[in-house]
Amino acid sequence: MSVTTVAPPHPILACVAALDAALDQVADAQPIYLTTPDKRQAIVDLARLRARLAELELRVLSASAEVGDQSGARDAAAWVAHATRSDPRAARADAHLARAVDAHPLVAAGMRRGGVSVEQARVVVHALDELPSDLDPGVRAEAEATMVGHCADFAPRELRRLGRRLVEVVAPEVAEAEDGKWLEAQERRARERAALRFQDLGDGRSRIWGLLPTPAVQRLQHYLQAYTSPRRPGEADGSAGGAPDAGNDAGNGAGVRAAVAGPLRVPQHRAYAHAFCALLEALDPDRLPEHGGDATTVVVTLGIDQLRAELAAAGVIAGDDHETISAGDARRLACQAKILPVVLGARGEVLDLGRSRRLFSRAQRRAIRFRDRGCRAEGCTIPAAWTEAHHLRPWSAGGPTDLDNAVSLCGHHHRRIHDSHYETHRLPQGDIRFHRRT
């Protein structure tokens, strides 16, 4: 008689089986019957257990380099992405974190206790990797203990800030020099990795995306916030002003207010998009770099009949690119942009290339804003600083460029007054009333 000995499962596999069985027991349990204190406790405990389980997963992943080799995958991360049907980028990030945690035992111990979450661990190991390479090992161990200790009190965002000042805590004697090196390296990486891409979607829209140095982005945000103007004190919602948010209906340079009556709520991301367009339109061509000796200029080509028509298309040449815009947009641009009017004959030949000129001077715009004190569309409360000068008698119809023929309109109403779907008339006190055509 022979006795077959069955080897017990590895403790990790036994743990996985026990967890699976425990989850089966609560598969149909309804948390609605938990008391409020019990719900709070369950949420906190589950987050702690999630950190512990994540550490176990990372520990196994760190020791599984041969998994990718045996399956023919590029590496273990590629195999994990395929086997678990997960995002390859996330799998690679997990593999990187697994190696980093394996090299930082205090971080791993914190996760095993449930005191360090995955998000915190990513921040901590990044801060430790950014430390100077020539630091004493004892100082590096102190830095790791310091960051792990902060995980009990700070979320990843605050940990990231603390990580930037970590050298000041553990090695103050070299902090200033190292901070300068770190900033230079960060700025160099930002410039080396900066990218800005454009994609024409073919439906009148284009996608812009990229990675830019943070100071440049902060500067752009500051400019856009000048166009997405904050609420003025005393608005209907009773707010006392402040930065724009998703509910900010106090229009901006590109306009976020309805034409006549109630506020139009615009999400912040859309307000920024409108403001970016307005910012580009407000750039002074005379201050831009020159192309082949000529200042950067928008050339609008269309017949005079098209320019005066309600609906027409205009060709636009900006640099070497040829695009098409509506005649309404061309008329609006003519109010404030540097224009080269090209008069075309019946067969499209150029009969006359007019002189470029800025139709309203800076002094005129200042005088118009001082006079009007804000957008003159009926019911609009946009301040003068966020308005544009508009020809009452259109430039396309021979309207003069003087104060009597000018009115201040916010970006939204400036677009609307050139919109063929609306008609307008001027009220006795000078405001402009809009009516949608039926």
Cα atoms in the Cβ-side hemisphere of radius 13 Å centred on 176? 1
- Backbone region of residue 155 per phi and psi (left: phi > 0; alpha: psi in -120 to 50; beta: other values): beta
Q: Determine phi and psi for 299, rounding to 5 degrees.
A: -105, 115
Statement: residue 321 has pLDDT above 80: no
Helix (H, G, I), strand (E, B) or coil at 77: helix
Helix (H, G, I), strand (E, B) or coil at 100: helix
Give yes or no for a contact between 353 and 342, defined as CB atoms under 8 angstroms apart: yes
Give yes or no for a contact between 379 and 362, defined as CB atoms under 8 angstroms apart: no
Say which residue, 393 or 311, is predicted with more confidence. Answer: 393
Angstrom distance (rounded) from CA 260 to CA 250: 13
Query: What is the rounded average pLDDT of the residues 244-250?
Result: 35
> For 170-202, what is each residue's pLDDT tens digit?
777 766 666 666 666 777 777 788 888 888 888
Angstrom distance (rounded) from CA 296 to CA 397: 26
Joined tokens for residue 433: 């009333």
* pLDDT band with cut points at 50, 70 and 90 for residue 234: very low
Maximum average pLDDT range among 141-150, 392-401, 412-421? 141-150
Looking at residue 303, what is its pLDDT?
56
Name which of 68-77, 177-186, 269-278, 390-399 the model is least confident about.
177-186
**Would you list the domain boundaries of the chain?**
42-130+142-169
First-last CA distance in the chain: 99
Looking at residue 241, what is its pLDDT?
35
Q: Give the chain's mean pLDDT.
A: 75
Statement: residue 251 has pLDDT above 80: no
> For 17-54, what is each residue's pLDDT tens digit?
999 999 999 999 999 989 999 999 999 999 999 999 99
Percent of the chain exceeding pLDDT 70 equals: 68
